[in-house]
């Protein structure tokens, strides 16, 4: 040891390190803190080869300064604890209402098995649901009501009647309420568009991309495609200068690039690309069309290529999931679907057309997790003490065996409903774990190499 060496005692438990060229990633798996440094071979070798929690090392001045960077960024510690609490507001802020469980389409992959038969939500059911939600002791003072379905515009009368009633209730309680709707758009006319615009609705239109892709799954009951009618609806929205987003269900990796090209060609500024879920009619589509062993990585690679174009090629389109993923890596306030416990029964509730209450939209087809009906008494007590919802609320990274050694456990929060669908329990290693693990690993490097473009992507409207 020469005169410049420093002897340092450090804690290095649960550190993930990765080398790419002359750059080195250091990530603390316990708290999610990460940094990429240049020319850090000594530290890389040290942290990559040690299994001990406590070590004593001799470092020269240059190496010591790099070590201090890791300490200052909570990646390693000189103390027993480098855990950083990930803060989030445990308040209810999203109420999803199914105006109907009927639909005018017969999409092959419908996650709720919607058909031309079904129920319509009554006005008193909607008002009761809103009153219950806004009366919860931990309801936020800023909430969103999303109208869903089925096809929510089949019951536009309810939406038109509900909004002024909700506004009155919210005003009396000092609550700020905003509205959103997810629709296939086919029923959009001038009256509906004007109403949505006047009430500042966020509008999502379900469309999978080009005619060929969309009409392979989004079809009418007579098996004809829906593309032309949805595009007419989009034209109406554009003519009225109403902002909207496209929601696509991806059932093949090639559809990511198809969706992006379609959005560019048609001047669509906001998209959301959701992978095919394994629930409802989608289970059969998934099994028939997907090579399970290739599913997570092939989908992740194709999605990542789309992300690179969005970030680096000046394509002025926002993809909602990419925005969530990037913010999740950059901030310790992840979106409700990317944390454990998630937002189900913590931040959101879903009410079906008949008034049944579920912890979130994804759970509405799993009937043993029904919490109550809006006509029941003691609703808040049932929300807080339903056994399955309590189990969801008590999910903890520190006690989920399959998450213990995962490099990305502070970012992932794999959907418990997805886990339940595959495993019939609320924990387990599923295909989506590989999907998100690949994405988070690659996105960290994209952030590092393209910092200015990432910031521009996130902050530009």
Residue identified by tokens 């509008």 is 203
Q: Is 368 exposed, middle or buried (0-12, 13-18, 19+ CB in 10 A)?
A: exposed
Distance CA 148, CA 234 (A): 18
* Structure token digits, residue 402: 């399959």
CA 266, 268, 269 angle in degrees (round to 5)? Answer: 150
Per-residue pLDDT tens for 194-238?
A: 999 999 999 999 999 999 999 999 999 999 999 999 999 999 999
Q: How far is the C-alpha of 363 from the C-alpha of 144, rounded, in Å? A: 19
Q: Which CATH superfamily is domain 92-385 in?
A: Aldolase class I (3.20.20.70)
Q: Which residues contact 397 (CB under 8 A, 6 or more apart)?
A: 340, 403, 409, 410
Per-domain boundaries in the chain? 12-73, 92-385
Per-residue HEC secondary structure of 326-364 comes to HHHHHCCCCCHHHCCCCCECCCEEEECCCCEEECCHHHC
pLDDT tens string for the chain (461 positions)? 343 455 656 666 788 999 999 999 999 888 888 999 998 888 888 888 656 566 666 667 777 788 888 888 888 765 444 444 455 567 999 999 999 999 999 999 888 888 888 999 999 999 999 999 999 989 999 999 999 999 999 999 999 999 999 999 999 999 999 999 999 999 999 999 999 999 999 999 999 999 999 999 999 999 999 999 999 999 999 999 999 999 999 988 999 999 999 999 999 999 999 988 777 777 776 666 555 556 689 999 999 999 999 999 888 999 999 999 999 898 766 778 878 888 888 899 999 999 999 999 888 878 778 999 999 999 999 998 999 888 888 888 777 888 888 899 888 877 888 888 777 787 777 778 889 999 999 999 999 999 999 999 999 87
> Rounded CA gap, 429 and 427, in Å?
7
Which pLDDT does position 165 carry in this prediction?
Answer: 98
Give the torsion sign (CA, 96, 100, 104, 105).
positive
Whole-angstrom distance, CA of residue 251 vs CA of residue 233: 24
Q: In this predicted model, what pLDDT tens digit does every residue of 269-323 receive, in sequence order? A: 999 999 887 777 777 766 665 555 566 899 999 999 999 999 998 889 999 999 9
pLDDT, position 54: 65
Q: What is the pLDDT of residue 346?
A: 87
pLDDT at 341: 83
Q: Where are the alpha helices (DSSP H) in 362-415?
A: 379-385, 387-393
Q: Closest Cα partner for 273 from 242, 305, 234, 241?
A: 305
Per the CB < 8 A criterion, the answer to whether 298 and 256 are in contact is: no
Give the C-alpha separation, 456 to 381, whole Å.
45
Instruction: With beta carbons less than 8 A apart as the criterion, state whether 154 and 187 touch.
Output: yes
Instruction: Give CA–CA dist 23/39, Å, rounded.
Output: 6
Residue 415 backbone zone (phi > 0: left; psi -120 to 50: alpha; other: beta): beta
Instruction: Determine whether 392 is exposed, middle or buried from the number of CB atoms within 10 Å of its CB (0-12, 13-18, 19+).
Output: buried
- The pLDDT of residue 56 is 66
What is the per-residue burial (b if ≥16 Cβ within 10 Å, else e) of 172-188? eeebebebbbbbbbbeb
Report residue 372: phi and psi, to 5°.
Answer: -175, -175
Residue at token pair 């998630």: 342
For 116, the token pair is 């031309």
Residue 287 is predicted with a pLDDT of 62
Nearest to 194 by CA among 244, 145, 144, 240: 240
């Amino acid at each position: 040891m020469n005169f410049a060496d420093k002897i340092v005692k450090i804690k290095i438990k649960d550190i993930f390190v990765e080398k790419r060229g002359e750059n080195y990633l250091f990530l603390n798996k316990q708290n999610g803190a990460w940094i990429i440094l240049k020319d850090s071979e000594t530290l890389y070798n040290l942290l990559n080869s040690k299994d001990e929690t406590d070590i004593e090392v001799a470092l020269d001045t240059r190496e010591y300064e790099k070590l201090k960077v890791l300490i200052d960024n909570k990646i390693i510690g000189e103390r027993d604890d480098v855990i950083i609490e990930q803060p989030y507001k445990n308040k209810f802020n999203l109420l999803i209402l199914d105006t109907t469980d009927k639909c005018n389409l017969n999409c092959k992959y419908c996650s709720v098995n919607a058909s031309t038969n079904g129920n319509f939500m009554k006005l008193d059911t909607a008002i009761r649901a809103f009153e219950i939600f806004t009366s919860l002791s931990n309801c936020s003072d800023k909430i969103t009501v999303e109208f869903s379905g089925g096809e929510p515009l089949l019951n536009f009368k309810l939406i038109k009647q509900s909004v002024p009633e909700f506004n009155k209730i919210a005003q009396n309680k000092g609550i700020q309420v905003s509205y959103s709707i997810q629709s296939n758009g086919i029923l959009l006319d001038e009256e509906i568009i004007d109403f949505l615009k006047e009430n500042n609705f966020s509008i999502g239109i379900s469309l999978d991309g080009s005619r060929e892709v969309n009409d392979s799954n989004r079809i009418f009951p007579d098996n004809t495609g829906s593309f032309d009618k949805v595009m007419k609806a989009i034209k109406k929205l554009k003519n009225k200068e109403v902002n909207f987003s496209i929601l696509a269900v991806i059932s093949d990796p090639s559809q990511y690039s198809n969706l992006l090209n379609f959005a560019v060609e048609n001047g669509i500024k906001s998209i959301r690309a959701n992978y095919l879920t394994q629930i409802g009619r989608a289970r059969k589509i998934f099994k028939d069309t997907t090579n399970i062993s290739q599913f997570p990585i092939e989908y992740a690679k194709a999605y990542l290529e789309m992300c690179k174009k969005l970030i680096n090629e000046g394509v002025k389109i926002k993809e909602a999931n990419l925005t969530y993923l990037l913010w999740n890596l950059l901030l310790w306030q992840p979106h409700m679907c990317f944390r454990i416990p998630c937002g189900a029964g913590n931040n959101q509730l879903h009410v079906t057309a008949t008034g049944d209450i579920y912890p979130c939209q994804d759970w509405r087809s799993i009937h043993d997790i029904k919490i109550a009906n809006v006509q029941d008494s003691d609703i808040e007590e049932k929300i807080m003490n339903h056994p399955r919802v309590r189990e969801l609320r008590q999910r903890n990274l520190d006690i989920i065996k399959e998450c213990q050694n995962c490099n990305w456990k502070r970012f992932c929060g794999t959907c418990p409903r997805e886990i339940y669908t595959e495993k019939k329990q609320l924990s387990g290693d599923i295909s989506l774990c590989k999907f998100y693990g690949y994405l988070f690993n690659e996105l960290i490097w994209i952030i590092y190499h393209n910092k200015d473009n990432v910031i521009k992507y996130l902050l530009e409207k």
